[in-house]
Structure 1
Amino acid sequence: MSRGTLFDKVWDAHTVGVLPSGQTQLFIGLHLIHEVTSPQAFAMLRERELKVLFPDRTIATVDHIIPTNNRDRPLLDSLAEEMMQSLEQNCQENDITFYPVGSGNQGIVHVIAPEQGWTQPGMTIACGDSHTSTHGAFGAIAFGIGTSQVRDVLASQTLALAKLKVRRVEVNGVLNPGVYAKDVILHIIRKLGVKGGVGYAYEFAGTTFEQMSMEERMTVCNMSIEGGARCGYINPDPVTFDYLHGRDAAPKGTDWDAAIAWWKSIASDRDAEYDDVVIFDAVDISPTITWGITPGQGIGVTEQVPTPEEMVEEERAIAAEAYRYMDLQPGNPIQGTKVDVCFIGSCTNGRISDLREAAKFAKDRHVAPGVKAFVVPGSERVKKQAEAEGLDKIFESAGFEWREAGCSMCLAMNPDKLQGRELSASSSNRNFKGRQGSSSGRTLLMSPAMVVAAAVTGQVTDVRELL
């Protein structure tokens, strides 16, 4: 019985049945695939002599392993070339829509699906990538899944999942200048913890999210998984509808009117019941940066690296590990920390609005000596739009490298990697040990504007000083 939340309504609408395990067999409306987690899944289908059940509900692109500079085929990395060829062949054999390099539609899977209108309210969406939660910004229920589950969706268009509890995460008020959606989600994860959302779907609500653009909402939902939540979503509203109207895969004509009516009906009811509610005030959020080795180890940029005495007992062991790995001293300010590499991009912050905001701070400034800085658009469409607006020239004049679309250094399954103990100011989503391609490399997560501030000063800097 639905309790009136969007999560419950969408879950119930897509329930095929309840399995003996107690899990729900859930129909998946849209399946997104890429070159990393799909080859093994297709191989499993062949072993069982199975076909893709609904190829028209599957969209494919290349993003993780694709280089962002030299993309000539065959790729220099033989394994990457093999993965590319496997995806190309699997899509061709199974009549799956595929967006290759040069098509004008290639890019990070969580960027291209929304910008083309494939992602819509009320959907269930799955992808073999943990940041599939991004699509919840549209009022969809979107899950990252493993390779065996990719196989299951290809073969049956369903997943076996345990139903989640729902926590309403409410933020109200107007964000201060220099504070962005990235700061909001880093603040939430800091307060609730990286395990705080385990077993939950997060419904982001309140006036702060209502005022956000769709791209800002995607940033927030993208990092739901970093707070332990299996998915995060925002109720669809006129901002959602305006964004989708006229996009390639969005409904047209009378279908559009019917879609709007359906989308409105699935929004959480005013009297919806939640398993938990937490409330934050936007005015309390400042430019936020991670100092440690989990996205929950974050502080305001003007704060000091926390001391063990400031932490609850269960946080002290991983904090001690973070001090050693990051080479930061508890009690010292994070501002002034020298950076080596500055990266703007990823499925968190590689959209056109992210690049526009970053360019404002790069204009008439220059990357500090000794710092490598580069910008990677989230898709070929984003790159084309940015170049039409002259953003590439602003970045290049400021000393940033301007790259092709892809995941780049976020996961570093491509040539974009940290070297040795380099410290990166990154607009991506994870700061785990070794995350950006070096087993000893270090990552500080922050907004794109904060990355520019670090790039032009050569150290962690409060972006508000550049306003």
Structure 2
Amino acid sequence: MGATLARKIWDLHLVRSMGGDDLLYIDLHLLHEVTTPQAFDGLRAAGRTVRRPDLTLGTEDHNTPTIAVDRAIRDPQAREQSALMRANCREFGIPLHRLGDPGQGIVHVIGPELGLTRPGMTIVCCDSHTTTHGAFGALALGIGTTQVEHVLATQTLPLRWPGTMAVTVNGALPSGVTAKDLVLALIARIGTAGGRGSIIEYRGEAIASLSMEGRMTLCNMSVEAGARAGLIAPDNTTFEFLRSRPGMPQGADWDAEIAFWESLRTDEDAVFDHEIVLDAAGLSPYVSWGTNPGQSVPLHEAVPDPCGIQDQEERAAAERALEYMDLKPGTPMRDIRVDTVFIGSCTNGRIEDLRAAAEVLSGRKVAEDVGLIIVPGSAQVRRQAVVEGLDVVFEEAGADFRAAAGCSLCAALNEDRLGPGQRAASTTNRNYEGRQGKGARTHIVAPAVAAATAVAGRLAAPSDLEGKG
């Protein structure tokens, strides 16, 4: 029997089997300021050092202010976390991209930008959206604080084989439908536990046609379906994205690397534990109505009625979500007005996402009673946006294009947060109660839908907007 891509990468990194667990070698360990202090305290208490600081990288992203690069962090806890991150990285010799550095940004944005994320690697970070890196054919996993200490000390991690799921998307995505819509449609179908414990491999014509940014969006939200990781086999799209990245091999070494990467495919006779098949042609822009990504519907539909849900637990969850979101069943999604629109995050804060927003905003104005915040996923993304003149488009439209990169309103661990009762259309990945601020209500959308919503003042697709101005 053949092997899946996930199994191939797993076996390539197997140090030894230990009963039910396997000890895997880790190629890249990414850190951010929120979840690392306890791990370093553990190292010090045990008298250990960091095994491979050269395979470890830190960045400041969750707590960073985005209004200005030189703005002080106001929240005392956030300020302390950032200070500890700097001190720990300095003490243990770990490279760190501080706010203001050219390479600073959201951890899952800068990894691919800097050429650190490559096919066939094992990558870990104490952040659930580490699954993003699976877009390159890497086995990328979110881990806990105790596991962070283990990786820092040994560059290995004991893991139990999680199982596999294939998600095959046949056909081509219709015009205006993005990877964000695709993943929301998938989670709406299988639920937030539909991929529980599995490594999802995305396959099919629609997946092959996605850009690297789109693939990262898709893999990023795999965890929202309960998956342990998301994977897409590397192909020419992957290779072309990586070719110009820092540190890539040249000449014969590049050819040898490509030959290895091309071997990273699921064998034709491999068997998955589960398989889901979607028809891309039937998809349209999606938007969430509830308090998890699985509570999403096509934009042209209405808020669902919990009475039509057979499962009692699911029905009760829908009723609670509607109460929190202050929505009534049957309300057309396009009738829902918003106070704020956020474009950014490790899901949709890349240059392609900003381009999509700028295309919609060009020649238009943000509605007077709506605030539009656009936060680049990295300092490099912001520089590129300025080179392309996107900053001018945003300014003329009345958007607030932030000066610094970071998680911003997605995590609401800094100054960027909503007030109680405020409603937002957001390109984030998660919308549980209070995610973007205590009492805040979040509708997850794709960047173009977010931009159109900012102009219309209500949930809208670009096709809903008439003309310019």
Cα distance in structure 2, aligned partners of 1:247 and 1:332: 47
Once the two structures are superposed, what CA deviation does each residue of 1:213-264 show, in whole Å capped at 9, x if it has no partner?
Answer: 1011000000000001010010000110110012113333332222111111
Contact 1:302/1:462 (<8 A) preserved? no
For the aligned residue pairs, the C-alpha RMSD in angstroms reads 1.3
Cα distance in structure 1, aligned partners of 2:405 and 2:68: 11
The one-letter code of the counterpart of 2:418 is L
Contact 1:33/1:109 (<8 A) preserved? yes
Query: In structure 2, what is the equivalent of residue 29 of structure 1?
Result: 27
Contact 1:195/1:227 (<8 A) preserved? yes
The residue correspondences of 1:27-426 to structure 2 (distance < 5 A) are: 27-72=25-70, 74-313=72-311, 314-403=313-402, 404-426=404-426
Under a length normalisation based on structure 1, what TM-score does the superposition of the two structures give? 0.97
Give the C-alpha shift of residue 97 in structure 1. 1.6
Once the two structures are superposed, what CA deviation does each residue of 1:11-43 show, in whole Å capped at 9, x if it has no partner?
Answer: 0111111223x1111111100001111111111
Give unpaired runs (5+ residues) of structure 1: none
Give the C-alpha shift of residue 73 in structure 1. 6.1
Cα distance in structure 1, aligned partners of 2:428 and 2:249: 32
Contact 1:118/1:250 (<8 A) preserved? no
Residues 255/206 of structure 1: CA separation in 2 closer, same or farther (3 Å cut): same
Q: Does 1:460 align with 2:459?
A: yes
Cα distance in structure 2, aligned partners of 1:147 and 1:254: 40
Give the C-alpha shift of residue 74 in structure 1. 4.6
Give the C-alpha shift of residue 95 in structure 1. 1.6
Cα distance in structure 1, aligned partners of 2:364 and 2:459: 16
Cα distance in structure 2, aligned partners of 1:18 and 1:409: 42
Give the C-alpha shift of residue 310 in structure 1. 2.7
Once the two structures are superposed, what CA deviation does each residue of 1:256-286 show, in whole Å capped at 9, x if it has no partner?
Answer: 2221111111211222221122111111111
Give the C-alpha shift of residue 101 in structure 1. 1.9
Cα distance in structure 1, aligned partners of 2:244 and 2:358: 27
2:24 aligned counterpart, secondary structure: strand
Cα distance in structure 1, aligned partners of 2:82 and 2:196: 34
1:76 aligned counterpart, secondary structure: coil
The number of residue pairs the alignment matches comes to: 464
Cα distance in structure 2, aligned partners of 1:200 and 1:27: 20
Contact 1:338/1:460 (<8 A) preserved? yes
Give the C-alpha shift of residue 396 in structure 1. 1.0
Cα distance in structure 1, aligned partners of 2:87 and 2:54: 16
Residues 39/253 of structure 1: CA separation in 2 closer, same or farther (3 Å cut): farther
Give unpaired runs (5+ residues) of structure 2: none
Under a length normalisation based on structure 2, what TM-score does the superposition of the two structures give? 0.97
Cα distance in structure 2, aligned partners of 1:457 and 1:152: 50
The one-letter code of the counterpart of 2:150 is D
1:223 aligned counterpart, secondary structure: helix
Q: Does 1:19 align with 2:18?
A: yes
Give the C-alpha shift of residue 304 in structure 1. 1.1
Contact 1:246/1:252 (<8 A) preserved? no
Once the two structures are superposed, what CA deviation does each residue of 1:363-420 show, in whole Å capped at 9, x if it has no partner?
Answer: 1111111111110000000000000000011011101001021000000101000011
Cα distance in structure 1, aligned partners of 2:176 and 2:307: 30
The one-letter code of the counterpart of 1:60 is G
Cα distance in structure 1, aligned partners of 2:247 and 2:269: 33
Cα distance in structure 1, aligned partners of 2:34 and 2:462: 36
Residues 19/271 of structure 1: CA separation in 2 closer, same or farther (3 Å cut): same
2:263 aligned counterpart, secondary structure: helix
**What percent of counterpart residues are identical?**
49
Q: More displaced, 66-75 or 284-293?
A: 66-75
2:333 aligned counterpart, secondary structure: coil
Cα distance in structure 2, aligned partners of 1:309 and 1:276: 30
Once the two structures are superposed, what CA deviation does each residue of 1:122-176 show, in whole Å capped at 9, x if it has no partner?
Answer: 0010001000000000000100111111111101111121101111101111211
Q: Does 1:429 align with 2:424?
A: no
**Moved beyond 3 Å, runs of 4+:** none
The one-letter code of the counterpart of 2:428 is S
Cα distance in structure 1, aligned partners of 2:69 and 2:113: 23
